[in-house]
Amino acid sequence: MNNHKKNLAVCLTFTVLLAAGCLLGLFLPKEDISYSERRRLAPLPVLSADTWFSGRFMSDFENYAADHVWRRDSFRTVKALVQTKLFGRLDENGIYAADGHLAAMEYPLREASLSRAAERFRLICDKYLSADNPVYLSVIPDKNCFLAPQSGHLSMDYAKLEKRMAQKADFAEYIRISDLLETDDYYLTDPHWRQEKITDVAERLSQAMGASISKDYKKHTLDQEFYGVYYGQAALPFAPDTLCYLTTEATEGCRVYDWQNERQIPVYDQKLAAGRDPYEMFLSGSLSLITMENPDAPSKKRLVLFRDSFGSGIAPLLISGYSEITLADIRYIHPDTLEKFVDFTDCDVLFLYSTLVLNHSETLK
Amino acid sequence: MLFSSISFLYYFLPVMAALYVISPGKLKNTSLLFGSLFFYAWGEPGYVWVMLFSIIQGYVFGLLVQRYRGQWAGRLFCVLSVCISLSFLFYFKYADFFIGNFNAAAGTSVPLLRVSLPIGISFYTFQMVSYTIDVSRGEPAQNNIIRLAAYIAMFPQLVAGPIVRYSDISGQLADRKHSLDGAAHGIRRFVIGLAKKILFANQFGELCSVCLALKEQSALSCWLYAVGFTLQVYFDFSGYSDMAIGLGELFGFRFSENFRYPYCSASITEFWRRWHISLGSWFRDYVYIPLGGNRVGRARQLCNILAVWALTGLWHGAAWNFVVWGLLFAALLIAEKIWLLRILEKSRVFSHVYVLFFVTVGFVIFGAGDLPEAVHRLFGMFGAGGIAPASPEALYYLKSFAPALAAGAIGATPAAAGLLKKGSAKKGWNRLLSVAEPVFVAAVLGIVTGYLADGSFNPFLYFRF
């Protein structure tokens, strides 16, 4: 190839790629949502004198243009592969792959955040509970706890975190569950635990709280593939998970009420399993306040479970031991408003939180 | 608008290039000017008038200076034009710095102006000043305001240089050749600059951010920051210059080089002949030589060097750490002038270590928010204040960024370019490289698009100067 042909090829390649990018950007139908990142994509900004001279139109257009690149997810994967394979980066956007899992580097330990979480829990106890209410606390380690020591990624001192939380929340009896968990108890591409792998955790918690739960589980496996939240964030090519759920007689017969939307909901929502975040199938995902009623319960025992999203997976396993479980997520509902909905008389109270929330407790109201 | 953005790559550039190609010869400068004004207004809609005013006053005074050249009125018009240009720069960039220092010294509380800095004002002000001075020195003034405006506002070099001298491109503004070979060369240069910015500079920027955010600082994390920032500044700024030069070639202009592998220098004197060449030569021709240059006595010459480098520092930013950064180089240049250069010539290894050490230290001062922060970071590099030599976090980030740092260190030398040059001299290799070039262009564009689609807004470091 002589120089002229080579230069022609360079010019043509550049022109065609830029023109194609321009035409696809201008005329391709636009998506509203990025399912892999689970967020709304930037809309086309409105052009007006105000938005132009304030510079808002330009900054919004930059976001719009970056969000609506043709085959954006594929381009993001190219970037992730260049970062990890070519530049040898050990993590991508704080997410790393190890032992067949994707995990987030949860680091460093934020003492002030633990103190704040404990203070929020104490506030609830002081406001609503009496000496007759048994109060429990349990901490769910995120999977970085198990993966990082082997893979060499950064991680917190999880034993220290548990110890600190138990000390700071001295009004609650601490139930240790970290010894029952291991890497494979979590989804490959998602931070959450697998319901079918945590029956031992449910057993430990119920025993500690004096409840007796059914062990007669029936396992169901969904057909659709499950790509978790880390998959979208890392944009690395990764095999999907399968999603399973467990039923008992109690889950079959139980009624679930969503106070936030004032409606009955199923324990396992099959429609949500096919949606953008299949993990939302467990008790319909991130709802502020729900009540599970078990009409066939062997006792009148009631539980108020202060929880994050991990609680949605375990509550169905606990319901057989209780006549009622109220799940409150104080990231979405202020504790002061709970008295309108929750009767705390003679109920057990469990604060069950993952390290991901405790280490970022600014999200707690 | 950033060169390294989707809106520039896939919206502005194709439309601008198409407009330019279809414009008849006489209207090419006009289409370039309007495209450039749109490009500038995209990033700075409120300050287009500042640049337009600067262009109009430069145009009018340029003609007046030419008409009265050699007379006192000509000198007066030249001084007036320079003062007007510099007064804008002073108002927007330095007023608060001087008010703040005046308040601190006099114990007063004169309110700060708190005006935002128009993008690229340091660059286009210097171009305007050089134009007026060149006209007063005998260069013909530009009669065509479109050409002058196209020179000042030309988008490839508008916001972060290189500082293009009017005398260098006055002929090209009137008549320039467009060729396939020139365009291909410009594309290659642009793509290399894009890769430097996105793949390297941003990578090192990320390293700097994580190092500064570490809960537990250590000497290793301080060094990682220092090395990361030194590489970031180089790849960021030289990447921008490559893109500017490449885009210039695409539109038929030839800008002079702004970087020549500065980290390979064997002395600071050589470093400044290779780093931001257009700024160094501007200060030499418009400040140092008019002050007397090398033709005055030793003491005066050293004072001139100090003045020029204090101004060079201040040009980069209105803060004392920039002044100290400039004066550090002034001290080293003076030392080299008097005796150090003779010692450096004796050992290649020592001279390179010496340059890299002081350049790195210099950039730690340069990158700090203020002087106390600079001192704190420098102390940290040498373990002062009882900080640990290393920490698990610093070791992790060293491991994670080691391949990028190694690639950056090699990329900052002429090794890769030398290898390509040798390869292209061999027939078989030349064939392979010929096929590889369009593939390289496509691959870099694809990878860069991936980074831009995944990333957020990441402006060039030199936009703030």
Torsion of CA A84, A86, A87, A92, to 10 degrees: -20
Q: A154, B396: Cβ pair inside 8 Å?
A: yes
Q: Give the model confidence (pLDDT) of A50-73 as tens digits.
A: 999 888 999 999 999 998 989 988
Our CA-based measurement puts residue A93 at a distance from the nearest CA of chain B, in whole angstroms, of 10
Residue A248 CB partners (closer than 8 Å, separation 6+): A214, A216, A217, A218, A316, A317, A319, A320
Q: Which of residues 162-181 of B touch A (CB under 8 A)?
A: 180-181
Check residue B261 and give its pLDDT: 95
Domain boundaries, chain A: 1-28, 31-68, 101-363
Check residue B2 and give its pLDDT: 86
d(CA A302, CA B312): 74
For Cα atoms B422, B424, B428, give the angle at the middle one, nearest 5 degrees. 110
Cis peptide bond prior to A108, omega within 30° of 0: yes
Q: Report ipTM (2 d.p.).
A: 0.86
- B120 pLDDT tier (thresholds 50, 70, 90): confident
Query: What's the start-to-end Cα distance of chain B, in Å?
Result: 16
CB distance from B435 to chain A under 8 Å?
yes
The beta-carbon neighbor of A52 closest among B45, B203, B442 is B45
The beta-carbon neighbor of A78 closest among B1, B45, B446 is B446
Averaged pLDDT for residues B182-201? 95
Coil, strand, or helix at residue B218? strand
Q: Give the model confidence (pLDDT) of A220-263 as tens digits.
A: 999 888 998 898 888 888 889 999 999 999 999 999 999 999 99
Q: Give the model confidence (pLDDT) of A269-286 as tens digits.
A: 999 888 878 899 999 988
Check residue B464 and give its pLDDT: 44
Q: Give the model confidence (pLDDT) of A293-345 as tens digits.
A: 999 888 889 999 999 999 999 999 999 999 999 999 999 999 999 888 888 88
Q: A62, B5: Cβ pair inside 8 Å?
A: yes
Query: Which of A79, A81, A96 to probe by mutation at the B interface, max B CB count within 10 Å?
Result: A79
Q: With a cut of 50, say whether residue B287 has pLDDT above it.
A: yes
Q: Lowest mean pLDDT of B37-46, B191-200, B231-240, name the range.
A: B37-46
Is B120 or A291 the better-scoring residue by pLDDT?
A291
Percent of chain A predicted with pLDDT > 70: 100
Q: Give the model confidence (pLDDT) of B250-262 as tens digits.
A: 999 999 999 999 9
- B458 pLDDT tier (thresholds 50, 70, 90): very low
Check residue B463 and give its pLDDT: 47
The beta-carbon neighbor of A10 closest among B184, B449, B457 is B184
CB distance from B206 to chain A under 8 Å?
no
Q: Quote the pTM value.
A: 0.88
Q: Give the model confidence (pLDDT) of B402-439 as tens digits.
A: 999 999 999 999 988 888 788 777 777 777 877 888 99
Coil, strand, or helix at residue A131? coil
- CB of B114 within 8 A of CB of B132? no
CB distance from B323 to chain A under 8 Å?
no
- B460 pLDDT tier (thresholds 50, 70, 90): very low
Give the Cβ contact number of residue B196 at 10 Å. Answer: 25
Of B462, B1, B4, the C-alpha closest to B197 is B4
CB distance from A108 to chain B under 8 Å?
yes
The beta-carbon neighbor of B438 closest among A9, A62, A93 is A9
CB distance from B187 to chain A under 8 Å?
yes
Check residue B354 and give its pLDDT: 95
Query: Which of B3, B6, B159 to probe by mutation at the A interface, max A CB count within 10 Å?
Result: B6
In chain A, which residue's Cα lies nearest the Cα of B408?
A87
Q: Give the model confidence (pLDDT) of B213-230 as tens digits.
A: 888 889 999 999 999 999
Q: A153, B187: Cβ pair inside 8 Å?
A: no
Coil, strand, or helix at residue B72? helix
Q: State the DSSP code for A246.
A: E
Mean per-residue pLDDT of chain B: 90
- CB of B255 within 8 A of CB of B242? no
Chain-centroid distance, C-alpha A170:
27
Check residue B459 and give its pLDDT: 42
Query: Which of A15, A18, A61, A90 to probe by mutation at the B interface, max B CB count within 10 Å?
Result: A18
Task: Please provide residue A65's backbone torsions phi and psi, each rounded to the nearest 5 degrees.
Answer: -65, -40
Query: What's the start-to-end Cα distance of chain A, in Å?
Result: 68
Tokens 């008097």 belong to: B338
Q: With a cut of 70, say whether residue B95 has pLDDT above it.
A: yes
- CB of A281 within 8 A of CB of A243? yes
Give the Cβ contact number of residue A166 at 10 Å. Answer: 18
CB distance from A52 to chain B under 8 Å?
yes
For residue A53, which residues of chain B lie inside 8 Å, CB to CB?
A: 45-46
Q: Lowest mean pLDDT of A33-37, A174-178, A248-252, name the range.
A: A33-37
Averaged pLDDT for residues B187-194? 95
CB distance from B9 to chain A under 8 Å?
yes
CB distance from A22 to chain B under 8 Å?
yes
b (16+ CB within 10 A) / e for B260-299: ebbbbbbbbbbbbebbbbbbbbbbebbebeeeeeeeeeee
Q: Which of residues 352-411 of B touch A (CB under 8 A)?
A: 392-393, 396, 399-404, 407
Check residue B416 and give its pLDDT: 84
Residues of B with active-site annotation: 316
Q: B457, A22: Cβ pair inside 8 Å?
A: no
Q: Give the model confidence (pLDDT) of B265-283 as tens digits.
A: 999 999 999 999 999 999 9
Q: Give the model confidence (pLDDT) of B160-182 as tens digits.
A: 768 888 888 888 988 888 999 99
In chain B, which residue's Cα lies nearest the Cα of A25?
B10
Check residue A1 and give its pLDDT: 56
Sign of the CA dihedral B100, B101, B102, B107? positive
Q: B42, A8: Cβ pair inside 8 Å?
A: no
Strand partners, A23: none
Of B220, B398, B216, the C-alpha closest to A152 is B398
C-alpha distance from residue B341 to each of A90, B260, B268, B301 (Å) = 43, 20, 9, 17
Q: B10, A53: Cβ pair inside 8 Å?
A: no
The beta-carbon neighbor of B447 closest among A4, A79, A154 is A79
Q: How many CB pairs under 8 A join A and B?
A: 149
Chain-centroid distance, C-alpha B435:
33
- B158 pLDDT tier (thresholds 50, 70, 90): confident
Q: With a cut of 50, say whether residue A212 has pLDDT above it.
A: yes
d(CA A293, CA A285): 18
The beta-carbon neighbor of B11 closest among A22, A154, A235 is A22
Mean per-residue pLDDT of chain A: 91
Query: Which of B15, B454, B457 to probe by mutation at the A interface, max A CB count within 10 Å?
Result: B454
Residue A275 CB partners (closer than 8 Å, separation 6+): none
Q: With a cut of 50, say whether residue B465 has pLDDT above it.
A: no
